[in-house]
Amino acid sequence: MSTQKPERTQGRAHASKRPAANHSSPAGAKPPATKTSKHRSQSAATSSAVAHSAREAALDVLVRVEENQSYSNLLLNQTLQKYALERADAALTTELVYGTIGRKNTIDFFLERFVSKGLAKLEPWVVCLLRLSLYQLKYLDRIPDHAVVSEAVQIAKRRGHQGISGMVNGVLRSIIRSKEELTLPTAFGDVKRIAYGHSHPEWLVRRWIRQYGVELAEQICAANNEPPHLSLRANAMRADREQLLRELQESGIRAEASPLAPAGILVQGAGNMALDPRFQQGDYSIQDESSMLVAEALDPQPGMRVLDCCAAPGGKTAHIAEKMNDQGEIWACDLHEHKRKLIEDQAKRLGLTSIHTLVMDALELPEHFAPESFDRILLDAPCSAFGVIRRKPDLKWAKEEEDVSNICNLQSALLDKVHRLLKPGGILVYSTCTIERSENDEFVRHFLEQHDEFDLAPLPSEAFQAIEQQDAQAGMVQIFPQQFRSDGFFIARLQKRR
């Protein structure tokens, strides 16, 4: 996905309902300022004296996501490194963070029944602790109820005061007594039933029902709550997929060939594959299977001149270079200076020298390069990213409906600029990691209506064997997250007439 993302919407609906600090409020609410400082100081001292648990690490991430609208995946990675948790605890932390955020509105719907004054009057960390605990009680079978309550109360004591820990204890014990009653009203219509049953914003569910119908919208929402695959892309410069697959299996890793991507390998239970020496020596990259199809659609050949307009962090750029046998010239552009290093680090790790980086707004690329000077152009456009919700569940709560139309305007401006750089007969691939039709097929058809020098070109049949052949031949494919358990992705292959 591109790094040129729109500004994130400020202020979540839930957070906006929360009142300012109430200094005289009872247990669970914010205590007086001086007391707060004292408590925080004591809490910090106490926390530093105890080993961090998976739940405490998860709570740290959840609070920062709630308060700062930070990306959960980035915060989680930072927190796991900071706390240096054992592998099992790191896995539990990941499950708790993604599960709690992913089920947020359903969890809040149930919690409101048990918090007499409402969630909006509690401090963010108390709300997050209750959410985290309810997620374990309702959605995780392997953790005993008493362990959930005990650890939540201990965390509440360390972070707050006796009154808060008592309230947390009371709420969670009430939930346990009423577990069988944690069900949704049968009178809900399709929108509310899917929105709360699979925990998505109602506006998003309503939008997907309008685009795809009730059944498919529900399948998409359900898939967004499932853990994503871990997939690797074999570096063709080092070894083909079969060789790497054999090496992984011989070293005891459960691995199998991806049914979707020709260069892809699915692995299970192998932990963080970025720590494997084979990753460091450039034998593979970690990339979603759908994302791997983008370079396949571009079909770059050795010696070509290629432009990747929104390249960071560089996964697709590197794949393009590998497919060109590192022969030719690839310009990898991105808006942000600090992301140039991500691309260069990838190229160095993989042993690729054909990649050149450029920090520039993609809208200005026609001022930097001569018209019709590239054989291939990839515009992996900034998008609403609704195809990667299972990897970044906070996305669905952070965005609002008007964000979709705003991003469409940017996509239109980008494609209008960069298509001029393509040689006659050249190929331009437009891709997004979303399932929004206004950003995908509808967007491409609108572009074609205005640019009769472009046609849709069939996607390479060998690389797209797993895709409905009628769609591949038509030159546009929409991959939904429930189809292959990969990211939701859209790819269109456009050819400029000679």
* H/E stretch holding 184: none
Beta-bridged to residue 479, according to DSSP, are: 489
Asked if 57 and 80 count as a contact pair (C-beta separation under 8 A), the reply is: yes
Q: What is the DSSP letter of 228?
A: P
Asked if 210 and 187 count as a contact pair (C-beta separation under 8 A), the reply is: no
* H/E stretch holding 8: none
Asked if 490 and 290 count as a contact pair (C-beta separation under 8 A), the reply is: no
**Cis, bond preceding 313 (omega within 30 deg of 0):** yes
Backbone torsions φ then ψ of 357, nearest 5 degrees:
-105, 150
Beta-bridged to residue 267, according to DSSP, are: 230, 255
Asked if 310 and 379 count as a contact pair (C-beta separation under 8 A), the reply is: yes
68: exposed, middle or buried (Cβ count in 10 Å: 0-12, 13-18, 19+): exposed
Dist. CA 69–CA 244, nearest whole Å: 39
Dist. CA 414–CA 24, nearest whole Å: 53
Q: What is the DSSP letter of 227?
A: P
Asked if 472 and 461 count as a contact pair (C-beta separation under 8 A), the reply is: yes
Dist. CA 389–CA 398, nearest whole Å: 11
Catalytic residues: 433
Other C-beta atoms closer than 10 Å to the C-beta of 282 total 18
